Structure 1
Amino acid sequence: MSIDTLTTMLTDMLGPMGPVIALAGVAALMVLATLPLMVKKREDPLDKLRASVSAQKGRTANAAPKNAQPLRNTGGSDKLEKFADFLEPKSKEEMSESRKWLQKAGYRSANAVRTYHAIQFGLAIGLLLLGVAYVMLYNATKPVPLSSTIAIMAVIGPGVLGYYAPTYWINKRVAARTAEIQDGFPDALDMLLVCVEAGLSLDQGIIRVSKELMSSYPALAEEFETVSHEIKAGLDKPSVLRAFADRSGVPDVASFVTVMIQSQQFGTSIAEALRLYAADMRDKRIMRAEEAANKIPVKMTLGTMMFTVPPLLIILVGPSVHDMMENFNSISQM
């Protein structure tokens, strides 16, 4: 059955609004079909472990004081927790990749993935319903209703736009933060070198640099602050530095992390490694600026051809063409 035949059948059965009503009904059925999956919550492994421990040590749990406070708040403060099975990826690999992607954009909360998918789903459904309302209002107020193709596009188009808008926003945020970290990293290395040569340790230097960069490069300062907090928490320094390289997504930062780890493993001078690497980073920043400057003439060529050559040709060739046309007209009249 073709789309035209189906549209004609729906129009005959339900009137001019038949295709729109049918599309709205299908969307409503899809939402109702997914509601059980959204409400169904998978059992938390921590709750299972807590239940098994309480079953094995029931008497000890009953003998606990009444005013004892739980170590972890599991009261479900997140409103999206009951939709976690629907809004979060099922596999650990997809969940890990989604968290890394959102961390590169600056969203580091524990529920960032869940919130992102909730916004994506809510925007898609909301704009889809808005498109349905617009088509119904237009057909009710205008003498000539919209055609079936335009009506379907007016309904589906906003829904698709709402679904992909959060992804576009996150990608823009990732690109902006990556560019900011890449631009500010040479200055951060220079300040870190000054701190190390002044007698501070690498950990203290990172804390000092994060405070100094807060006004000029807030994204890089936030990354350095995260590194300092993780080191204070007792995590392994190579693991903390590798996590910093993964979050930033900048190849220069990954190379710096490799240099720092090798310097620590082989016992070489950190100050000397920082000095050499900082000089290399400054040279790379100058090369990137020269590359951007060299691209400007190529990018301006199209604009020059479009907005300069046609007016110049009109000024130069226009009078000659006008004289030729007048001569041809005078010859034809003779």
Structure 2
Amino acid sequence: MIELAASSPAVRILFLIVVFAIVTGVILLIVSGVDARRRASKQIARLDSVVAGVPETSLVRDSEDNRWGRIADAIEKTGIDLTDKSNLKLEKQLKQAGYRSPSAPRIYTLVRMTMIFVLPGLYLLSVYFSPDKPEMIRMYVISAILAALGLYLPTLYIRGKADRRKAEIVNGFPDALDLILVSVEAGLGLESALDRVGREMIRSHRLISELLIECTLMMRAGAPRDLALRQLAESSAVDEIRSFSTLLIQSDKLGTSIASTLRVYAAEMREARRMRAEERAHRIPVLISIPLVACMLPVMIGVLALPAIIGIVREIAPALAGG
């Protein structure tokens, strides 16, 4: 029987197919078990984060920041200083983009230094494997341009992310104000109202939820209310929330009604959002005119003028030439 299996190609192929199926099935079982375990752990972490009032994405971002922070620490142990500790402008820009980790400036500098060498290195590697070698001057110029791009691209990314974060906070803040106003008028205190709204807005406006939950946690930890509200304004880096924090601090010190203050400010924020929407709507005709002039107008002129041009070429031009 063994000799028949060894001498028959069909039996050997069938045996190999069976072995392959068994090995593949075992691997799939192992992978599915590991994946199910990972999904269960993620689900538990998500439920814990919702119960604690902290969004899941903040946990993931903190773990990533810790990994990059350990890399930055290892590089700084070799004697290379990745950032200037007195560079408050850089820290402010990173906070506006949402990177509030203490190691964010070092990670930013590490990324910029890496990009300076990675982009020219990739270009030189492609040149090395290319059959046509460019001139040395051209390679030098392109490598210098790529190094400058690697130095400037992280800055563009941080600025773009800061602008998107600011726009998201500004657009969602009137909704948060309305919810805070409803909570305060329903009888909740300011701390309870901020905590309630922060938990309710985890899925709809995650950034505002993080800011409100952080402010609430500071108050519960024993920080004065004015200090927690100032920290809220500093963390958001948005003028509307700065005005909101200043308004609450003044109302708290002067003893005025917080509900009436919030009602007036919420109406102003809704009106400001409506005005921003109208401004964008009024910009649409101007923006549409650019493709109209650049694309459609030359085609329309060509369609209208082409019959006349053909008539001139066929009839008037030969007559003028004496034909």
**Alpha-carbon spacing, 1:123–1:330, altered in 2? closer, same or farther (3 Å):** closer
Q: 2:176 maps to what in 1?
A: 188
1:202 deviation in Å? 0.7
Partner of residue 189 from structure 2, selected from 186, 191, 201:
201
**Alpha-carbon spacing, 1:125–1:290, altered in 2? closer, same or farther (3 Å):** same
SS of alignment partner, residue 86 of structure 1: coil
Partner of residue 148 from structure 2, selected from 147, 157, 160:
160
Please, what is the CA RMSD of the aligned residues? 1.8
1:1-334 paired onto structure 2 within 5 Å: 78-84=70-76, 86-91=81-86, 94=87, 96-138=88-130, 141-142=131-132, 145-331=133-319, 332-334=321-323
Structure 2: stretches of 5+ with no match in the other structure: 1-68
1:247 deviation in Å? 2.4
Cα separation, 2, equivalents of 1:168 and 1:306: 29
Confirm or deny: 8 A CA contact 1:181 1:220 kept in the other structure.
yes
TM-score by length of 1: 0.71
1:82 deviation in Å? 4.8
Confirm or deny: 8 A CA contact 1:104 1:174 kept in the other structure.
yes
Cα separation, 1, equivalents of 2:303 and 2:117: 56
1:208 deviation in Å? 0.9
1:180 deviation in Å? 0.4
- Please give the per-residue CA displacement for 1:287-326, whole angstroms capped at 9, x wherever unaligned: 0100110111111112111222222222222112211221
Between the aligned residues of both structures, percent identity stands at 33
Confirm or deny: 8 A CA contact 1:231 1:237 kept in the other structure.
yes
TM-score by length of 2: 0.73
Alignment length (residue pairs): 251
Larger deviation: 241-250 or 127-136? Answer: 127-136
Cα separation, 1, equivalents of 2:143 and 2:243: 49
SS of alignment partner, residue 274 of structure 1: helix
Aligned partner of 2:118: which letter? G
1:230 deviation in Å? 1.6
1:106 deviation in Å? 1.5
Cα separation, 2, equivalents of 1:306 and 1:167: 32
Cα separation, 1, equivalents of 2:300 and 2:202: 51
SS of alignment partner, residue 80 of structure 1: helix
**Alpha-carbon spacing, 1:112–1:120, altered in 2? closer, same or farther (3 Å):** same
SS of alignment partner, residue 87 of structure 1: coil
1:277 deviation in Å? 0.4
Structure 1: stretches of 5+ with no match in the other structure: 1-76
**Which of the pair is proportionally richer in helix?**
2
1:176 deviation in Å? 0.8
Aligned partner of 2:268: which letter? D
1:161 deviation in Å? 2.1
Cα separation, 2, equivalents of 1:90 and 1:208: 37
